[in-house]
Each structure stands twice: as structure tokens, then as C-alpha cells.
Structure 1
């Protein structure tokens, strides 16, 4: 692996992650509307989303192992190729089968990209700088992700109107897809030209199946990693309740008190929570460097604060109070990202990093799937507030695993 200066690594990480999440942000405001415009019914929206999630879950760990074996850069470029195929297919797709097939290609891309380029840049940073300042790189990555999502989401909301004015006869949302394809080309060029990686030797080491077995054995042997996986699962369960029901909750509250338009408030909160998370991710490394608090106690406090604000959110009956609590919750949650990422990457050997990052991502997604089903039943019987209180309890319980995760064994 070729060594490069830490500043260059942080610059590449910031640029690549900003572009990656800007591309996703472009479609976030219109994804369901795009699918509806392609002939899907409301019922079919859920089925097509489930197909995409199923592909990601099925391929998450194998593709992470593959990245460790064939090279992270090559795996990430393959992810970009699948993403291009997905968006290009959506331009011509119509009906449930064609749209779901295109989104399945996107699922393959998500699985291939998970942890691949990130793991490479983290390894290069540690080789040149050590892991004592790793939280600075993780903070840079988190900030780039958040800014990219925020700006991409804002742009994604304006593009349909502009595209309709330019090409009135075209699908209203094809402008978003074309913009995403253009940014994907820029991202691909950046990765090809700026990222360096020595090709891993293919003739030595165990076969892929044996490597997967080794990765699973590593997870079982590490109490710290198992704790992180459970924490990630709990986060996925808890935040599936927040992400699924916060918009209906805003509509309910705004309608009940006759306050400002729910659409305007939803728009403010959508942009605001990205910025709140960004602010939290920027504050965290400063707090770590200026105080003597360790990662484990800090994360325990932040996780309990996040859970407490979810409970307060569940009890809130006014839109103004809801907005303040919602943004505060994401601030605490954003603060936990750099120290948690640093804790995780310090415990991972280089040859297992991509596969283990994929395993953590898989745990989050499995938690999301479990939470979606479970909280759907809870909301149907007891309402959104009850679901959020249960979600807060799950999140708070996982906080006490951080001292185990800090052990690195």
C-alpha cells in the first residue's frame, strides 16, 4: 500500500464522501415520487424497498470480505459501475418488475461500497499518522457525509421543477437521475486518479470461503466487536421508529394545534437534522481533545442523552417543542459518530477492516428491518408515542455495552 500524506487522505476522504452522499441526497426528496411516476402503486412501494434491502443484507458481509481480498479501490469502482447501471436503468424502467430490478442493482452497489473505500483510507491514515488522531479523520468523513446529504437533498427538491421547465414532455424526475449520473462520473474520476492502492496478492492466503469463515471466527472471538455489533443492531431498531414515523407525527401535531404548515416544518426539520448531526460530529473531537473523558463514558452519556430526548419527543404535543427536541436528539447522535467510529477502527486488523465494517453496517440494516416490522405492530395497536418509548429503551440498554466495546478484545 502506497503511503500518502495524512492531509491528502483527509482531502480525498472529504471529497469522495461529499460526492457519494450528495448523489444519494439528490434522490432522497423524490425517490418514492419517482417510483410512483414509473407506475408503482402505494402498496408496491414497500415491496420494491424490501427487495432492495434484501439484496443489501444478503451481500453486505460477502462483499466486505471480497473488498479485503481483491482490493478496496477495485471493489468501490465496481460499486460505482452498478450504481450507474441502476440509475441508467431507472431512466427507461416502467412498472414494478423493471423498477425493482433497477433498484436491486442499486442494492448491489450499496453492498459493494459499504466500508471499501473508507477502510482503505483509514488504513492509509493509520500507517502514516497512527490511530491517536484517527478521530479527526472520522470527523472529516462524518462532516462530508452530512454536508453532502444536506446540499444534495436541497438540490434534489429543486431539480424536478427546473427539469420540467426545460423538458416539459419528459418524466419530471429524470433530471435528478441525470444529475446523479453526472456526479457519479466525477466521483469515479476522482477515485481512479487520486486513490492509490497496491493490488493484494491473489496467489497467497485462504480462499474466499475460508476467509469468510475466518472473519466470522474473528467476530465470535472478540467481545468488543460483538458489543459494537449489538450496539449497531440496537441503533438500527430504535432509529427505524424515528425515521418511519416522524413525518406523520409532525402532520398530526401541526394539524392538532393549527400551527404552521406541516410541509414547511418537515422541510425545515429535514435540512436541520443534517446540520445538527454535522455540528455534533464537529464538536465531538474538540471535546475529546480538550477533556480527559474516555470514549466509552462519553458514548454512554451521549447514547443515554439521545434516548432521553426520544422519550421527550414521544411526550411532546407542540410543534415548536417537537422541532427543538428532534434537532437536539440528532445533535447528540451526531456527537457519538466520531468516537464510535474511532473505537471500532482501532480494534480492527487491516486485513479484516472492510469485512468488519460491512458486518457493522449489516447489523444496522438488520436492526432496521426488525424495527420496521415490530414498530409497525406497536403503532397499529398503541400509537407512535409508545413505539418511540420502546425505541428509547432499546437504545438506552445498548449504551451499557460501550465499556465492553472499549476493551478492544
Structure 2
């Protein structure tokens, strides 16, 4: 007897669960990541290079992995992402040399590229199969965004506080313990993806067919992104997001460590600050549909939220003049406002993009979007790190704020829910990425 198809509420619940687990490994490892490399002798320039390798791998693999998810299976690709993440984080916990961290980032970047589209593509396709191509995507995207934000918040707090509770020993450094916990979370994601993401049967694909079809799907997705002017402009927004987010992630841990005087306490304070930011992210995801209703269109709401995001990053730049507790409190306030507004932008921009692509190209287009994000991050890892070294943290954050503010010019007028891409193989969903 074939299994009963999922209902729309069940699809939304499962997407929220999967999204929670997608972000948990990264959240647990994020707080100690830069400080762990610093404690093992890497300078800020070397750390910037290591992070640039991560971004480069993501850029190189985003499109092939998105095409793989469209051709092969959303579920299988997400499970593979979890496996690569578990391997990378295990090595990261014990790495000592620069070349080892570079190799870790090759694996970790592969995991990120594999995970950037399958879960959301599965959600949209599954909901379209149940409710049709006119299904309202915002409630499920909102629930998934909240779940991801809760995951990031909880994981960041755990990653920041666990090292303080672990006594120093000869086996594992305290800063490495959250990274090992992230390995367990990655294995949990692998199992959940295989169990909780049913897909309609696909024709059995041979290796030759996959190698043939993935480039064709990638080419089709790229062509759609270039041909559709509105979609091209929406994709370009992600480049500026990558610059701003990388500037925050690269420079905040060192800034807070300087304010507190110790790497461990700096990591703990960073975890609290980032967790508050992710709590703001969850709030933004929850209120985004209401903001769109209040301002009349998703475009207007996205533009307004972008202005608030840029202003918050500018406020962080100004807070560099503060020291001690005032500096920490300013960072907390800036993170909450910044990530709440950025989450509103992300969700509404995702909705606009999904309305302009069919199922057969959905994961590929999300990979194009993530490609832009990672490319911006790669540029920032090299350029922002250099700018911070030459002119200071405030100048680097100001540059990120300007890049964000300029994106308000990219949101095109007259965005509608018409299908622009091919809907071939769409399971009856004739039409139709989220940044943390």
C-alpha cells in the first residue's frame, strides 16, 4: 500500500524541522571557529585566506550541486551535505596547521554548496503538489525561517558557553567541544533528511545520464537568470548580502575579544551577541508576511527592511568608538536590528524568486542565488580583511553598509507571480533563498 501524501501542515512542519537541523551544525561551530584558529597560531590574514577558500569552493560548486539536486534528488543531496559537514567538522576539531584548515574548508564548502537549495526546493515543490501553483509560500517560509533562527540562536549560545564549562585537558580543547557537538548534529540531519523528505518516484538515473543532465540543468538555470531582467536584479542583491555578512562574521569575534580581554570570554560574548541577532532573525521571519501586508507589496517591504539593515550595520561601525560594556551593548542592539530586518528582506526576496521559476530549475536557481552570496563573501574575506587591517573595523563595516544600501536600486517594479521558467517535471506545480 503506497504511503499517504503529506498534507500542507505536515509539509510545513517537516520543512521547519529540516531547516532547524540544516543550520544547527554551523551554529554550534560558529562561535568558536575564528577563535579556535587563532588559538592554534593563525593570524587574521591567514584566517581570512582560509575563509576565502571556503567561499571559493562554495562558488565553484554551487551550480553543479544545485543541478544535481534538480536532476537526482533533493533528499539525497541534502543527506550528502550532512555527510560532508560531519567529516569537515571532525577534522576541524583537531586541525593544527594552515594546510589542514584549508583542506577542512574544502570539505565544509562542499557541504555548504550541497545544502544551499534542496530543503527549500523540496518544500515549495511539495506544497505546490498539494495546493497548486498558487499556494501561498510565505507561511511555510516564515515557519522555516523561524526554525532556522531558533537553531542558530540555541547553537550559538551552546557554542559560546560550553567551552567555559569544559575543564582544560590533554584530550580536547574546550573551544573544540562545540565543534564535536556539531558533528553529532550533522549526523542527525543526515538521518532526518532520509526519513522526513519523501519525494515522488524519479526515473532511475545512470551515472552517464546524471553527468549529461546536470550541465544542461545548470545552463538552463543560468540562462533563465540572465534572460529574466527582474530575476537577474534580485540575484545581484545576494552579492551585497555576502559582503556585509562576511564582514560581520570575520570582524566581530576579534572586536568582542578585544572588549573583554580574553579569547574564551570573547567567544562567549560573541555567542550571546550572535544569538540575539538570530533571535532577531526569527522575529523578522515571523513578521515578514505582516510587514508585506502593511506596506502593500513585498517589494516595498523588502526595500524598507534593506534601509533598516544598512542603518544597523552603520550603527555597528559607529559603535567602534565605544569600549567596555557600552561597546558590547551597542553590538547586541545592532545585531538584533540588523538580523531582524535582513530576515524580512530574505524571506520576501525568496518569495519573489520562487514565483519566477519552475520546479525543474528551482534548486539550480537557488544555487545561483547562493553563488552570488558566496562570491560576495569571498570578495569580502579578502577585501574587507585588508580594509580592516589598513583602515580599521569601522571602515570595513561602513563599506558593508554602503553595499547593502545600494541594493534598494535593484528591486524591480511590477513583480508578479507569473511563471517565467520551464515547469517541465514539476509534479503539477507549474510555477513558481534565504540568508542567515
Quickly name the TM-score band, shorter chain normalised: 0.7 to 0.9
- 1:6-405 matched pairs, under 5 angstroms: 6-35=8-37, 44-90=46-92, 93-130=95-132, 131-164=134-167, 168-172=169-173, 173-201=175-203, 202=205, 207-247=213-253, 266-289=270-293, 291=294, 293-316=296-319, 317-318=321-322, 319=326, 320-321=329-330, 323-404=332-413
Distance verdict in 2 for CA 1:25–1:232, change over 3 Å = same
Q: Distance in 1 between matches of 2:21 and 2:76?
A: 18
Q: How many residues align?
A: 401
The 8 Å contact of residues 3 and 127 in structure 1, kept in 2 or not, is answered as no
Query: Which shows bigger deviation, 327-336 or 264-273?
Result: 264-273
Distance change in 2, residues 1:183/1:90 (3 Å): same
Residues 307-344 of structure 1 show CA distances to partners (whole Å, capped at 9, x for unaligned) of 23333443444435554344223222222222122112
- The whole-number CA distance in structure 1 between the counterparts of 2:412 and 2:248 is 26
- What TM-score comes out, normalization by structure 2 length? 0.81
8 Å CA contact 2:52, 2:381 repeated in 1: no
8 A Cα contact 2:67 2:215, kept in partner: no
Give me the TM-score of the superposition, normalised by structure 1. 0.86
Closer/same/farther in 2, CA of residues 34 and 280 from structure 1, 3 Å limit = same
CA positional deviation for 1:38: 6.0
Indicate how the Cα distance of structure 1 residues 253 and 358 shifts in structure 2: closer, same or farther if over 3 A, else same: same
Quote the offset at 1:370 in angstroms: 1.8
CA change 1:405–1:87 in 2 (3 A) is farther
Aligned alpha-carbon RMSD (Å): 3.1
How far the C-alpha of 1:31 sits from its partner, in A, is 1.7
Q: Deviations over 1:52-104 (max 9, x none)?
A: 22222111111111111111111111112222222344456543333432332
Show structure 2 runs of 5+ residues with no match: 421-436
Query: In the TM superposition, what is the alpha-carbon distance from 1:162 to its structure 2 partner?
Result: 4.6
- Measured in 2, the distance between the counterparts of 1:354 and 1:303 equals 25
**Alignment partners' CA distance in 2, 1:175 and 1:388:** 31
Map Cα deviations across residues 275-312 of structure 1 (whole Å, 9 max, x no partner): 112112111123335x3610011111111222233334
1:128, distance to aligned residue in structure 2 (A): 1.6
- The answer for unaligned runs of 5 or more in structure 1 is 256-260
Q: Which moved more, 1:122-131 or 1:354-363?
A: 122-131
Q: Secondary structure at the match of 1:28?
A: helix
